Amino acid sequence: MKETVAILDAGAQYGKVIDRRVRELSVETHILPMSTPASQLSEYAAIIISGGPQSVYDAEAPEFDPRIFELGRPMLGICYGMQLINYALGGTVERKSRREDGPCTIEVSDASALFSGLDTRQTVLMSHGDSIGGLAAGFRATANSNGLVAAIEDPARRMYGLQFHPEVDLTEHGKQMLHNFLYSVAGLSGSYTMEDRIAKATDYIHEKVGDGEVLLLVSGGVDSTVCAALLNKTLGPERVHAIHIDNGFMRLDESRKVKEALQANGLELTVIDASDDFYKGTTEVGGNIVGPLDTVTDPQAKRHIIGDTFMRVAENAIRQLNLDPERTFLAQGSLRPDLIESASKIASGKAQVIKTHHNDTELVRMLREKGRVIEPLQDYHKDEARELGRRLSLPDDIVMRQPFPGPGLAVRILCAEEPYITDEFEDINAQLHAFSTLGVTATLLPVRTVGVQGDGRSYSYLAGLSGAKDWRHLMQIAREIPKAIHRINRVAYIFGEKVEGPVTEITPTHLTPDVIGQLQQADDIVNNALRQYGLLQRLSQVPVISFPVSFGKKGARSIAIRTFITNDFMTGRPAVLGKDFPEHALDDMVIGILRDVQGVSRVVYDLTSKPPGTTEWE
């Protein structure tokens, strides 16, 4: 039997992270539909069942072959996967009064093979609504989280379940748990290497392109640059045409810097100024024309327009370069997390959309159907792409660049024409008052941000904390609020005077040059401070966001600073002030923005982990 593990996809947003973690442990994996028959799964050495957004009782719960539990293969269920194992074998699953989203502390049994050699108390990432009720015959609970069952096992049948996600960074010993399952429980030896995957990517390029040519959209970020280097090595520079599209939403002077940086490393780049095309871009959704972009407020519509405009500009570039459209393929540096969050069928047939990435719109999918798109990095995560870049001899100053979204600052400007105030606003605000303690005031803000809760997308309220700057206390409050109030998925600290009373006003905001210029200035101040304090590599990503809350200053907007620490870019946490990030560095950023950028009322610091908040705000 080959040492290959089957990962059954139940729709988890972290499904591909499971795949990645197992491969890091030198074990080959195949992601398969939850409905894969037992006869096919009998060929695999072990089975992992992923998490997912449904309840086991839902009519739309993924179908499965019950005979998989009779194969005798070592099996690990994660989140929904654990609930399914328990339910399918006669146990019960219940919707409790308390759900868990975010980091939690659990107590584990060191007698369990999964937790061998680990501390009895540890931090894990929870993301679930349902919980285990009665245990199936033969199973015992091996971990708990405040009275909820956090792990189960039946060692005789080599079946194990975890309510939390061992695959993500926020579970501190998750990789060791997976190692224990693969090596101690399943008895695997490990023989899968990075070289195998590079060879696979090279074969993919040759197979897709044949003797054709490639047009590559280069943003200047890690993904597209590594993709360019891989294509150049595989096909040769004469068959790879790299273009950089300035969409008008770049960082201050970014396009010039991108061209100079890539040329210094032997990659020729053509820069196309298409800002007007994007400002006035439109798209068709459900038979209706949406746009132009500078009038749109819906974040999904913004991403659709930007993604489709990229494709149209690329098609024009093919004509201008006199390339044969039938022999020219569009290359993208799309990584696996992009496709998972967009619920692309490449990554998962069951995952819910967390956000639509600009490189995974309907137009891109149509081009994929025609075989016109190649994505050599579609099986890689960010750190793996960086490792590939090093192996392709790219310098560290490019390989370690912080990610910048393809749509640029357009998706870091929350657009709105009126405040977001639902019928629940007053009730949620009243619930927030319970968190106003020790000199801190908690206030609901009238805007929405995107989050990920229970393996699905949430589009919910932002809460603001103001007053005393006890960062440890503030971080604790920020973790607790989304657990207690599910209509809040993001919490930020508001600098300046304590915010008293309800906040109900915004400044109407669209993607216009003045708003973009305002954010460009703020973003530049933050990034200059990051360079000054040597934080660009310590912090994985630092989005700077404009949001339309005026805080009583007519016509003003506010700026958010979102420090983010992660390895997998699917989960992560904010930088802890005084530990990961010097407080005086943040103070310099805040003072600089309020002093030098006109029309800014307040600056806030995002305190939210992912989940329940995503990396970006929309």
> Does residue 79 have an active-site annotation?
yes
What is the pLDDT, as a whole number, of residue 357? 46
**Percent of the chain whose pLDDT exceeds 70:** 94
What is the pLDDT, as a whole number, of residue 568? 72
More confident residue, 192 or 554: 554
Strands 121-132 vs 93-108: parallel, antiparallel or unpaired: antiparallel
Q: 527 with 383, same domain?
A: no
pLDDT > 50? residue 346: no
* CB contact set of 116 (below 8 Å; sequence gap of 6+): 110, 180, 184
Burial 440-458 (b: 16+ CB within 10 A, else e): bbbbbbbbbbbbbbbbbbb
pLDDT tens by residue, 42-67: 999 999 999 988 899 988 899 999 99
Among candidate residues 128, 165, 241, 381, the one labeled active-site is 165
pLDDT > 90? residue 328: no
* CB contact set of 572 (below 8 Å; sequence gap of 6+): 169, 170, 540, 564, 565, 566, 609, 610, 615
| Final residue belonging to a domain, choices 357, 375, 406 | 406
**Type and span of the H or E element at 313:** helix 299-320
Among candidate residues 153, 167, 341, 384, the one labeled active-site is 167
CA dist., res. 259 & res. 237, Å (int): 16
What is the pLDDT, as a whole number, of residue 344? 44
Q: What sign has the CA pseudo-torsion 490, 491, 492, 498?
A: positive
Q: 436 with 374, same domain?
A: no
| Final residue belonging to a domain, choices 136, 160, 185 | 185
pLDDT > 60? residue 390: yes
365 neighbors 347 (Cβ within 8 angstroms):
no
Of 159, 140, 183, the residue nearest 68 (C-alpha): 159
Structural domain for 381, as ranges: 194-406
Q: 301 with 438, same domain?
A: no
Neighbours of 118 (CB within 10 A): 16
Q: 458 with 492, same domain?
A: yes
Q: How many domains does the chain have?
A: 3
420 occurs within a structural domain? no
418 occurs within a structural domain? no
What is the pLDDT, as a whole number, of residue 106? 95
* CB contact set of 104 (below 8 Å; sequence gap of 6+): 123, 124, 125, 126, 145, 146, 164
* CB contact set of 3 (below 8 Å; sequence gap of 6+): 27, 28, 45, 188, 189, 190, 191, 192
- The pTM score is 0.73
* CB contact set of 433 (below 8 Å; sequence gap of 6+): 442
Q: 361 with 478, same domain?
A: no
pLDDT > 90? residue 452: no
More confident residue, 586 or 99: 586
pLDDT tens by residue, 144-160: 998 889 999 999 999 99
What is the pLDDT, as a whole number, of residue 602? 98
pLDDT tens by residue, 584-616: 999 999 999 999 999 999 999 999 999 899 999
CA dist., res. 378 & res. 332, Å (int): 9
Over residues 482-487, the mean pLDDT reads 93
Q: 238 with 369, same domain?
A: yes
Over residues 174-179, the mean pLDDT reads 97
Q: 45 with 85, same domain?
A: yes
Q: 146 with 278, same domain?
A: no
Which domain CATH number covers 142?
A: 3.40.50.880
Which domain CATH number covers 511?
A: 3.30.300.10
CA dist., res. 431 & res. 513, Å (int): 39
Which domain CATH number covers 312?
A: 3.40.50.620
Of 66, 67, 65, 72, the residue nearest 46 (C-alpha): 72
Residue for token digits 């390029």? Answer: 205
528 neighbors 497 (Cβ within 8 angstroms):
no
- The pLDDT confidence band at residue 364, using thresholds 50, 70 and 90, is low
> Does residue 358 have an active-site annotation?
no
Computed over every residue of the chain, the mean pLDDT equals 90
Over residues 119-137, the mean pLDDT reads 90
Cis peptide before 612 (omega within 30 of 0): yes
What is the pLDDT, as a whole number, of residue 337? 65
Among candidate residues 79, 104, 227, 415, the one labeled active-site is 79
Q: 214 with 265, same domain?
A: yes
| Final residue belonging to a domain, choices 154, 185, 216 | 185
